Amino acid sequence: MNEKNLINEARQSVVEAGLALVHSAMTVGTYGNISCRIDEEHIAITPSGRNYEQLTAADIVVTDRDGEKTEGELLPSSELALHLEIYKSFPEAQAIVHTHSIYASALAASHKDLPPIIEDLTQIVGGTVRCTEYTLAGTKQLGRNAVEAMEGGRNAALLANHGAVCWGRNMKEALVTAHILEKGAQIYCIARSFGAPFPLDEKTVRTLHDFYINHYSKRQQGEE
């Protein structure tokens, strides 16, 4: 596939992911952002302040790894630095979804981690979803905080007083991670009303995550 086709494919993937978020009530209006890695040097990312339902592929901005715009007429998302820090730190990340979903944001507002209490969340994330320290949106430090929270094999983090960010080895996995994170956060909030939920032990966490990485995710792609 030539470079132009790769760019067009990445831009369309971001548009479709944005529609998926809106239709599942994972974000409202113009908030949140999505990106896709095009190659080692470039990403496609949603523009700043634009409604997902009105976006076209041509609206999606292309930047290099330093954040310099290479294609597109609009301004890139104000959270470009967050996305770039994650891509630089996790070479396997091919797509990033940042949401302001309700229950994940509730935990983020409380500066609470989300423990591994549900199997599907544990499989895909790899353990506790940690909450970062607070820092202003749109800063490199926000990206650094997210990367620190993801250390140890995680692909998701809660951003204090803000929302959640997830990455995947493809766009579908990034979206699924965001949805499962929100579901897990909702279950945790409900379970807390009954008493303290029981997190899975570390051995079980490793077993579940290894199974997902080495087998189940491959089955989802038709590779096993």
CB 129 within 8 A of CB 157: yes
Q: Output b/e per residue, 86-117; b: 16+ Cβ within 10 A.
A: bbebbeebbbbbbbbbebbbebbeeebbbbbb
Tokens coding 120: 């599907």
- pLDDT (0 to 100) of residue 27: 80
How does residue 201 score in pLDDT terms, banded at 50, 70 and 90? very high
Token pair 């038709």 is found at 222
* Count of other CB atoms within 10 angstroms of residue 207: 14
Q: Are 7 and 38 in contact (CB under 8 A)?
A: yes
Active site residue 79: yes
Q: What percent of the chain has pLDDT over 90?
A: 84
Task: Say which residue, 45 or 26, is predicted with more confidence.
Answer: 45
Q: Tens of pLDDT along 118-147?
A: 999 999 999 999 999 999 999 999 999 999
- For residue 12, is pLDDT > 80? yes
Among candidate residues 41, 79, 92, 223, the one labeled active-site is 79
- Give tens-digit pLDDT for 87-119: 999 999 999 999 999 999 999 999 999 999 999
Q: What is the pTM of this model?
A: 0.95
Range 25-47 average pLDDT: 91
Distance CA 177, CA 44 (A): 19
Average pLDDT over residues 2-31: 89
Average predicted confidence (pLDDT) for the chain: 94
Q: At residue 1, does pLDDT exceed 70?
A: no
The token pair at 104 is: 């994940």
Structure tokens at 15: 């548009």
Q: Distance between terminal CA atoms of the chain? A: 25
Cα separation, 139 vs 159, whole angstroms? 12
Average pLDDT over residues 193-205: 94
Query: Does the pLDDT value for residue 218 go beyond 90?
Result: no
